[in-house]
Structure 1
Amino acid sequence: MTDCIFYGGKGGVGKTTCAAATALRLADAGRDTLVVSTDPAHSLSDSLETDLGPEPRELEAEAGSDAASGSLWAVEIDPDARKERYERLARALAADLRSAGIRLDDEEVGRLFAGGAPAGSDEIAALDLLVEYVDDGDWDVVVFDTAPTGHTLRLFDTPEVMGLALETAQSLRGQAKRIGDAARTAVLGPMSMFGSGRDDEEGLESFRARLERARQLLTDPERTEFRVVLLPESMAIAESERLVATLREADVRVDRLVVNRVFEDPEDGCSRCQSRHERHLERVAEIRETFPDLEVVTLPEREGEVQGLETLLSVGGRLRSER
């Protein structure tokens, strides 16, 4: 079975670095691994120093790596590439409602599918691809570099929200279809049944089933783990506490916190450096106290961007990413 690892947290804390480093380490350990960016502001290409697109691409093994290593693949989701599918489903629903005399404009259909929640096409695309990549069975592990905290919470809310919206939509659609079929039969007789295929209805049901499958994967502790990335700052601790609580309320497994950019080596004689070092030590101690049941991993602050396979591999070693 394919395992899933999600990295989440506030924007700019280093989720992309952690996801890329984890994926590279897993591949180096012999597992076929896919790393996925679901953040609309992609930086995975920069981290891996390669051009990525909406389809998984295999990266060449790093020079000197073990020939028995697993493969490393990467992909950046393009939300627009997936949005058309859901727009087509919405249009199919609206067409059937109109055939029964129920008029909905595009904005009203959009509200129906959103269920009053702020779910967006990027979250839907992420869930759709989660199911696709995991159930294809082409990889041993799929590592997700998720969007910032607010988007992440929406992603995990989406299956339930969309499931309820689709249940309502299908009920309305069924009523409209029965009324429309009765009217057509009364006017045209048996000829009314020609051309009344059920492709769109099956599409709606398939869509709902895939969302339910996504929820099963997200809440399966044997297959899915969510890791929270944060900086050694007081506000970040509070935000991470809310994120962990929300994920656990959704029955998502959270075992690990990654504290990134910890200042570890102050220069001798630099009082400012020493003060910053001590402050970071205090914040890390506070994090361990706030989350006593979670493993806390620290990553040192580095000069410049963390880019390239060699650098990422060293970060992966600190993450102890074997699963």
Structure 2
Amino acid sequence: MTDCIFYGGKGGVGKTTCAAATGLRLADAGRRTLIVSTDPAHSLSDSLEADVGPEPSELEVGPGPETTDEERLELDAGGSLWAVEIDAETQRERYEKLATALAADLRSAGIRLSDEEVERIFASGAPAGGDEVAALDLLVEYVDSGEWDVVVFDTAPTGHTLRLFDMPEVMGPVLETLQSLRGQASRIGTAAKSAVFGPMSMMTGSGTDGEESLEAFQARLGRARDLLADPERTEFRVVLVPEGMAIAESERLVETLRDAEVRVDRLVVNRVFEDPDEGCSRCQSRYERHAKRVSEIRETFPGLEVVTLPEREEEIRGLEAVRSIADRLPADP
């Protein structure tokens, strides 16, 4: 059974680094792990210093320097690290292929559309919320494949993440309306039905049967919602920095996730200044300010574990740099 760990928070707080470090730690401990970036501004490739594309690919990571003999045996028994960046271009291309197929169906039914007309109809690309819908669809695909023990999600900034968790409920009324329209369209022929439901078939990548595609898509959204709200399999970790605005935004995010019945056990406070030089008054002041913010975070989120990661002068890039903070992050959800 595949577990899921989501990292979310406002932009620029270090979600990608946390996701990469957690995935690497799990792989070092012998778990088959997939890191998924759903952030349109992908930085997973940069963080891991590896080529990460729109399809899951295995990375050459090897055992870490702190890996125990027991963990090395587990790693030899099947631990591995995979990564993927959900690619908006790929989704757009899938939508364009759908447009071409739909136009062919219409032409075969005697409805003539020129290439220019088809292009205008689908000029806006994927429908609103397409990124979030694609993420949910791929979540189910990755989990149900059984290829990985844990899937770690590096999510987009807070607004996109909230839409991700709202999408199953938002799409429910839309799907009900489409089902009603489908019944009416069935009375005027297959071509009309394809015209109404063709755009939805992109979500499942299944055949041209609109009825089957719509029902399969609805079932997958329901499956995604159940998985997100399953506390035995899914945990959401909020990443923030020791700043007032970040604390306030994280408070809203945690509240929304709890309302959605998504398990939130931990906060990761990134870039906390530690070990100031004794002779540096500015360093001491910064250290005290961050310590005060961390205390404020603990008071604001009672009952949640607060994990801190140190501020570093250099950017955390590459496997060894990512490994250097991995042991400070909880591994299993």
304-313 or 150-159, which deviates more = 304-313
Secondary structure in 2 aligned to 1:36?
strand
Distance (Å, rounded) in 1 between the aligned partners of 2:31 and 2:171? 33
* TM-aligned CA deviation for residue 172 of structure 1: 1.0
RMSD: 2.8
Alignment of 1:15-94 (within 5 A): 15-62=15-62, 66-69=72-75, 70-83=79-92, 88=98
* TM-aligned CA deviation for residue 232 of structure 1: 0.2
Paired residue for 2:221? 211
Letter in 2 for 1:145: D
Decide whether aligned partners of structure 1 residues 29 and 198 sit closer, same or farther in structure 2, where only a CA change above 3 A counts.
closer
Secondary structure in 2 aligned to 1:68?
helix
C-alpha distance after superposition, 1:100-121 (max 9, x if no partner): xxxxx9999999x97xxxx522
Letter in 1 for 2:308: T
1:137 aligns with 2:137: no
Q: Is this contact kept in 2: 1:6–1:143, CA < 8 A?
A: yes
C-alpha distance after superposition, 1:67-98 (max 9, x if no partner): 53111111111023234556749x96xx99xx
Secondary structure in 2 aligned to 1:296?
strand
Distance (Å, rounded) in 2 between the aligned partners of 1:262 and 1:17? 15
Decide whether aligned partners of structure 1 residues 307 and 18 sit closer, same or farther in structure 2, where only a CA change above 3 A counts.
same
Distance (Å, rounded) in 2 between the aligned partners of 1:171 and 1:271? 69
Q: Is this contact kept in 2: 1:79–1:121, CA < 8 A?
A: no
Structure 1 residue ranges, 4+ long, deviating more than 3 angstroms after superposition: 83-89, 105-111
Alignment of 1:226-245 (within 5 A): 226-245=236-255
Q: Is this contact kept in 2: 1:83–1:125, CA < 8 A?
A: no
Distance (Å, rounded) in 1 between the aligned partners of 2:214 and 2:239? 36
Decide whether aligned partners of structure 1 residues 86 and 127 sit closer, same or farther in structure 2, where only a CA change above 3 A counts.
farther
Paired residue for 1:291? 301
Structure 1, unaligned stretches of length 5 or more? 100-104, 184-196
1:171 aligns with 2:180: yes
Secondary structure in 1 aligned to 2:250?
helix
Q: Is this contact kept in 2: 1:25–1:322, CA < 8 A?
A: no
Secondary structure in 1 aligned to 2:266?
strand
Distance (Å, rounded) in 2 between the aligned partners of 1:108 and 1:285? 54
Paired residue for 1:187? none
Which of residues 298, 316, 324 in structure 2 aligns to 1:306?
Answer: 316
Secondary structure in 2 aligned to 1:220?
coil
257-266 or 200-209, which deviates more = 200-209
Distance (Å, rounded) in 1 between the aligned partners of 2:309 and 2:285? 19
TM-score (norm 1): 0.84
* Aligned pairs, number: 297
1:278 aligns with 2:278: no
Letter in 2 for 1:292: P
Secondary structure in 1 aligned to 2:267?
strand
* TM-aligned CA deviation for residue 19 of structure 1: 0.1
Distance (Å, rounded) in 1 between the aligned partners of 2:226 and 2:176? 18
Q: Is this contact kept in 2: 1:83–1:121, CA < 8 A?
A: no
233-242 or 311-320, which deviates more = 311-320
Distance (Å, rounded) in 2 between the aligned partners of 1:221 and 1:312? 27
Q: Is this contact kept in 1: 2:61–2:319, CA < 8 A?
A: no
Distance (Å, rounded) in 1 between the aligned partners of 2:284 and 2:255? 34
1:162 aligns with 2:171: yes
Distance (Å, rounded) in 2 between the aligned partners of 1:297 and 1:75? 26
Secondary structure in 1 aligned to 2:269?
strand
Distance (Å, rounded) in 1 between the aligned partners of 2:168 and 2:93? 19
* TM-aligned CA deviation for residue 38 of structure 1: 0.5
Letter in 1 for 2:3: D
* TM-aligned CA deviation for residue 166 of structure 1: 1.3
Distance (Å, rounded) in 1 between the aligned partners of 2:189 and 2:62? 61
Q: Is this contact kept in 1: 2:9–2:158, CA < 8 A?
A: yes
Distance (Å, rounded) in 1 between the aligned partners of 2:209 and 2:73? 47
* TM-aligned CA deviation for residue 154 of structure 1: 0.7
Q: Is this contact kept in 1: 2:267–2:305, CA < 8 A?
A: yes
